Amino acid sequence: KPLVFSGVQPTGNLHLGNYLGAIRKFVALQEDNDCIYCVVDLHALTAQLVHEDMRNQIRSIAAAFIASGIDPKKHIVFNQSAVPQHSELAWIFNCVARIGWMERMTQFKDKTGGKNAEQVSLGLLAYPSLMAADILVYRATHVPVGDDQKQHLELTRDIAQKFNIDFGGHIRKAGTGVDIVVGEEPVHAYFPMVEPLIGGPAPRVMSLRDGTKKMSKSDASDLSRINLLDDADTISKKIRKAKTDPDALPSEVEGLKGRPEAENLVGIYAALSDKSKADILAEFGGQQFSVFKPALVDLAVNVLSPITDEMRRLMDDTSHIDAILRDGGERARARAEKTMKEVRDIIGFVQ
Ligand code: ATP
Ligand code: MG
């Protein structure tokens, strides 16, 4: 079975973008794959070092995984810091990757815009190197993420490829590699070339306040996102206040061009109802937002409320979630250590 890995940072309230872009795909992939889903708590230190409530933040991401339908017995759910092999491999990748690769990342530029180097952690620059380690420490091949992570996954492939080339002779000698084809070239590789799984109708959900910015946990405005823990009244208020333009909805997808807010709301409706944007416009074309928004509120509440209720129930008594994370951590550690033993051997460390 293909091995799937993905992670979510415990940096704030999970929102509809995380759900549609990532978690819902995690759930769907369980059927045909071996899946490892991680609360990437080490990543949460990159933008902000000290967190008021880190423990519960971690638990709430794990609760969202479980409440959405991830089976922690058949698959693995754990938090990153429980498996120190991620950090160990990240260090090696820090030495494989080049500073220029990291400086080119648009997320790094977005998250550091207007700040000088004295204010930015070295961890934020190296973030994609830890992300590559998260994935490759299991030698995972498929990574479901939102569209915003595409560039980081390309970097993961670059890091894997440079490791495979730099250590080519050592990999052969250690007898641990496999033959893969990169482009046309057959390569004897240790790390696989990961495949991003980005598709779906809502690969990038935009902010409700600004249709050109992605919905984010770390956006200062709570009105910019629908949180998985929002109640029906809050969802209704946020959608009613969502920025729109004054025109009616078009009847064809073409008509959404240049109307980012309208496109976003139609995209959210489509994703939540498992239909295409064209289907939604066939239904609502010509209607005003005063008609469309209440329909979107009903749909969002219907889809999200069972998840919200289950998340709250799981968070009432944290012992269940903690046990899932502990068990997942143990199983993940065993797998990651198997890779690290081979990596240490390839590099030539005495162990
Ligand atoms: P932060 O602002 O702290 O970076 P975030 O909202 O970007 O938080 P992450 O934990 O960085 O959330 O990402 C978790 C997953 O959710 C990733 O797969 C990411 O691609 C996906 N994701 C995040 N935001 C969106 C969005 N607006 N639309 C679709 N997918 C998203
Ligand atoms: Mg993010």
pLDDT in tens, 33-60: 999 999 999 999 999 999 999 999 999 9
Please state, in angstroms and rounded to a whole number, the distance separating the CA atoms of residues 213 and 77: 30
What atom in ligand 1 is closest to the CA of residue 206?
Answer: 27
| Residue 298 identity (one-letter amino acid) | D
Half-sphere exposure of 52 (CA within 13 A, CB side): 1
Residue 224 CA to ligand 2 centre (angstroms): 15
Instruction: Tell whether the model's pLDDT for residue 202 goes beyond 90.
Output: no
- Ligand closest to 40 (CA) is 1
Catalytic residue among 25, 162, 173, 217, which? 217
**Start and end residues for every CATH 3.40.50.620 domain found in the chain:** 3-201+318-347
Q: Which residue has the higher pLDDT, 311 or 180?
A: 311
Instruction: Tell whether the model's pLDDT for residue 178 goes beyond 90.
Output: no
Catalytic residue among 1, 73, 150, 214, which? 214
DSSP state of 206: B
25 has catalytic annotation: no
Residue 315 CA to ligand 2 centre (angstroms): 23
The fourth-level CATH superfamily of domain 3-201+318-347 is HUPs (3.40.50.620)
Residue 146 CA to ligand 1 centre (angstroms): 6
Q: Which CATH code fits 229-315? A: 1.10.240.10
Alpha helices for 69-179 (secondary structure H): 85-96, 99-103, 106-112, 122-136, 150-166, 168-174
- Ligand closest to 44 (CA) is 1
1 has catalytic annotation: no
Instruction: Tell whether the model's pLDDT for residue 182 goes beyond 90.
Output: no
Average pLDDT, the chain: 96
Half-sphere exposure of 331 (CA within 13 A, CB side): 18
Residue 287 CA to ligand 1 centre (angstroms): 31
In angstroms, the Cα distances linking 273 to 202, 218, 231, 232, 243 are 11, 27, 19, 17, 21
Pocket test for ligand 1, best of 23, 194, 216 (most atoms within 8 A of CB): 216
- pLDDT confidence of residue 318: 93
pLDDT bracket for residue 330 (50, 70, 90): very high
Please state the pTM of the whole predicted model.
Answer: 0.96
pLDDT in tens, 267-277: 999 999 999 99
Instruction: Tell the residue nearest (CA) to atom 18 of ligand 1.
Output: 145
User: How many percent of the chain have pLDDT more than 70?
Assistant: 100
- pLDDT confidence of residue 183: 78
Instruction: Tell the residue nearest (CA) to atom 6 of ligand 1.
Output: 216
Ligand 1 contact, 8 CB (< 6 A)? yes
Instruction: Tell whether the model's pLDDT for residue 80 goes beyond 80.
Output: yes
Pocket test for ligand 1, best of 4, 9, 18 (most atoms within 8 A of CB): 18
**Start and end residues for every CATH 1.10.240.10 domain found in the chain:** 229-315
- pLDDT confidence of residue 242: 97
Which residue spans within the chain are E strands per DSSP? 3-8, 34-39, 76-79, 142-144, 178-182, 185-189, 195-197
Residue stretches of the annotated binding site for L-tryptophan: 134
pLDDT bracket for residue 29 (50, 70, 90): very high
Instruction: Tell the residue nearest (CA) to atom 7 of ligand 1.
Output: 216
User: How many percent of the chain have pLDDT more than 90?
Assistant: 93
pLDDT bracket for residue 180 (50, 70, 90): confident
pLDDT in tens, 206-228: 999 999 999 999 889 999 999 99
Instruction: Tell whether the model's pLDDT for residue 290 goes beyond 90.
Output: yes
Residue 216 CA to ligand 2 centre (angstroms): 7
pLDDT in tens, 85-131: 999 999 999 999 999 999 999 999 999 988 999 999 999 999 999 99
111 has catalytic annotation: yes
pLDDT bracket for residue 335 (50, 70, 90): very high
